[in-house]
A = this chain, B = another copy of it.
């Protein structure tokens, strides 16, 4: 969606290393915004983005208009069902249907052998991976989250953080690492692990917690016992800016 940062360019660089040709799409997709104000204020910067793509090694950058992606008469929707229901899907109705539909279109146009997505959007990665497998579209490659030195995950939305919120935001990473440390010490009660995360978030009064989840990594169903690989994830608001992050357990 543009306003590229080192998280995006890490995907381009990895694709550059592993593939014969690299295509990038930049498209702020109106269908994945449940909130028109959020779409309106999403940061955009085409000249800057094109320079970053070139520097990272992209061969092709496609910057379509809305009508190129959704021509008149467009009438198709691609949805992932159970996996898209909880977490971001519950918080942002229609969001994942917008994501999977536009990504299926981009895959249809580009026909990539592989597509590179970051771990930061953990549920999105799993939803797109499921769709790509189910419809035989491409192989989805999972790439690690790129972080600021203080641990904040890179996100195009970070630009909206007020200075005090930016200073407070690394609490997300500290909270997730506290939860993972409890798990690494042998804790298998998911409620206890979620509680550790929440306790750290509670130390930061600027952080408005939306959810803390400890879910089955494969199905994203909330766990009672952590007896299988799990995704520990959260969504937190600072003012009007909503941030997400996650770590794997196992």
Binding site for B on A (CB under 8 A): 73-83, 100, 104-105, 108-109, 130-131, 134-137, 218
Distance between Cα atoms of A151 and B116 in the complex (Å):
54
Complex Cα–Cα for A213 and B101 (A): 31
**Chain B residues in 8 Å Cβ range of A76:** 78-81, 100, 130-131, 134-135
Number of copies: 2
- A134: chain B residues within 8 A (beta carbon): 74-76, 105
Shortest Cβ distance from A126 into chain B, in angstroms?
10
Could you say which residues of chain B place their CB within 8 Å of the CB of A78? 76-79, 104, 135
Instruction: List, in ascending order, chain B residues with CB within 8 A of A80's CB.
Output: 75-77
C-alpha spacing A136/B73, complex, angstroms: 14
- 26 residue pairs of the A-B complex, CB under 8 angstroms, read A73-B130, A73-B218, A74-B134, A75-B80, A75-B81, A75-B82, A75-B83, A76-B78, A76-B79, A76-B80, A76-B130, A76-B131, A77-B79, A77-B81, A78-B78, A78-B79, A78-B104, A78-B135, A104-B135, A105-B134, A105-B135, A105-B136, A108-B135, A108-B136, A108-B137, A109-B136
Complex alpha-carbon distance, A137 and B136, angstroms:
11
In the complex, A76→B126 CA distance in Å?
12
